[in-house]
Amino acid sequence: MQKTKAALWEFLQGLGKTFMLPVALLAFCGIMLGIGSSLSSEAVTDNLPFLKAEGFHLVFTWMANTGLVAFTFLPVLFAMAIPLGLAREDKGVAAFSGFVGFAAMNLAVNFYLTAKGVDLEDGKAIEHYGIADVLGVQSIDTGLLGAVAVGIVVSLLHQRFRTQRMPDALAFFGGLRFVPIISALVLSVLGLLIPLVWPTFNGWITAVGRGIGHTGVFGPFFFGMGEVLLRPIGLHHILVAMFRFTDVGGSGAVCGDQVSGALNMFYAHLDCAGAPNGAVTDATHFLSQGKMASYLGGLPGAALAMYHCANRKMRPEIKALLVSGVVACVVGGITEPLEFLFLFVAPWLYAIHAVLVGLGFLTAALLGVFIGNTDGNVIDWLVFGVLQGSTTKWYLVPVIAAVWFAVYYFLFRWAITRFDLRTPGREDESEQAEEDSEPVPQDGEAQPVRELVAGKYDAAAILDAIGGAGNIRSLDNCITRLRMTVEDAGEVDEARLKKLGAVGVIKLDDHNVQVVIGPQVQSVKDAIATMIPVG
C-alpha cells in the first residue's frame, strides 16, 4: 500500500511537471497575440495613426497569427509533451509516439461516427458529440482531457515496449520502432470507445463548470487560494490546467465558435474584434488579473518587511536575495523565491498569504478588471491591460496592488517581530557563525576551483548535498524546482543545500524530494545531469 501511494505521488508530480513545456510556449504566444492584436486594433490605431502604415500593420498581424500557434494546436502539444516529460530515455521517440497516438485516436473517432451514419454537419449531432475539426479531421473535441489521456497511455506504452524484441522476420519493427506502432493500435481502439462515453463525461465536466459559475466571485477566490496551497507540493499545475483548458473554467460562444476553458476563451476573444461577452468576462476571472494584487503589491511588501526586520548588519547580505525574489515575482510571475522564505518558518503565515491571493481574485472580479493571460506579472498588466485600452480597467490594478502592499507589509512585520520568525537575516549570531565557517584546507592541499552555474550555484556541491549521484533515481525540473526521486530522502542535507543557494527543500516522502532553486533551475539541473547517468 505504501509503495502504491508513493508511486502514485511520484506519477502525479511527474505529470504536473510535463505541463510546463506547452504552458511556457502558451505564455509566450499569449504575449505575441496580445501585442499583435492590440497594436493592430482600430482602438489603438485611431489614437496612434502612424500604426496604420502597411508595414506596421503587417508586422503586428504576423505577431498575432504567430501567437495562435499554441492556442490552435494546444491538445496535440500536450499529447506530445506528456510522454516527452515522463520518459526517462528516448524522449524523442516518446514525443513522436504521442503525436501518432493523438492522430490515430481522432481518426478512429471519425471512423466510428462515419460508420454509424452520423451526419457530421448536423447541428444536433455536433452539439451532442462535440464534433469539431481536429488536425483536419472531423472528430470529437476532447480538448485537454483527451490529450492528457493520450499522453499518459503513450508514456506507459513507451516504458513497456521501447525494448520490445520481435522474431527475426519482424525484427525491423522491434525496439523503439515498435512504440509508435503499438501507440497507433492502442489509441485507435481507445478512439472507438470515445463516442460511447464522451457525451456523458463531458456533461459531468460541464455541470462542474456551471456549479463553479454559480458561486459567482467566490469561485475565483477558492481557485486562487487553492493554487497557492497546492504550490508547495507541486500539484497546482493540474488544478490550473483544469480551469484554463476545460469546461471547469467556463465555456461559451466566442466570435461564433464554441470554446471551453478560461484561457482558451480569453485568447479566442483576443483574435476577434468586439467587446467580450459575459461568458468570456466570467471565465477571465480565473486568469492573471487575480494574481496581480499579491504579485505586484503584496509579496514585494512582504519582502520589504523581511528586510526591515532583519538584523542591521545582515541587511546588505540579504538585499540581493530579496531584490532578486521581487524581480522574479513582479517581472516573471515566479513567486516561489519569496514564498519559500517564510513557508517553512511559518506555515500559518503562508496559509494567510493563500487567503490574500484568493481575496485578490475576488476583488478583481468584483471590480470588473479584465486583463487575462497566465502570469500575473507587470508584462501581463502592460500587454493585456494597458495596451488593450481602458475597458480592461487596468488603472485599478496599481490601486489594488498598493493596498495589498500595505496589508502584507504590516502583517509580515507584525508576525515576524511578534513571533520572532527566523526569516532571512534574523538568525542567531551562533547560527550565522556556524554557517559562515568553512573547512580550512591543510597545508599543501589544493582548493578546488569550480565554475559556478549562473554565477552563484555550485552544481557539484549541490549534487553532493543531495547524497551524490548514487542517491538519485531520476532528476527533472519545473519552473523553479529540482524534482527528484531518490533512494533515501534522509541523505539529502537541507541545511547545506540552503547554504548553497537553495530557497527551500521539500521532502514529500521517503523518496520524492524537491529543491527550490529559482529561475536558474534549468541551468542547475543541466549541470547536475552531466554528472549522473539520468535524464
**So which residues are the catalytic ones?**
478
Closest CA to 82 of 186, 191, 159, 3: 159
The alpha-carbon radius of gyration of the chain (Å, integer) is 25
From residue 292, give the alpha-carbon distance in Å to each of 29, 251, 361, 393, 414. 20, 24, 9, 13, 23
CA 40 remoteness from chain centre: 29
Q: Where are the beta strands (DSSP E) in 337-486?
A: 472-477, 481-486
Q: Which of 304, 292, 326 is nearest to 408 (CA)?
A: 304
On whether the CB atoms of residues 267 and 254 are closer than 8 A, the answer is: no
Q: How far is CA 230 from the centre of its chain?
A: 12
Q: How far is it, in rounded angstroms, from Cα 102 to Cα 80?
A: 8
Q: Are 424 and 322 in contact (CB under 8 A)?
A: yes
**Of 425, 436, 431, 453, nearest in space to 525 by CA:** 453
Q: Give the Cα separation of 32 and 38 in Å (integer).
A: 10
d(CA 153, CA 170): 24
User: In the numeric block, which cell numbers belong to residue 183?
Assistant: 501507440
339-343: which pairs have CB atoms within 8 A and are 24 or more residues apart? 339/228, 339/231, 339/299, 340/503, 340/504, 340/516, 341/306, 341/423, 341/424, 341/503, 342/302, 342/306, 342/412, 342/421, 342/423, 343/232, 343/504
Chain length of the chain: 535
As given in the structure block, the three cell numbers for residue 105 are: 485516436
Residue 32 to residue 271: CA distance in whole angstroms: 11
In terms of Cβ atoms closer than 10 Å to its own Cβ (0-12, 13-18, 19+), residue 66 is middle
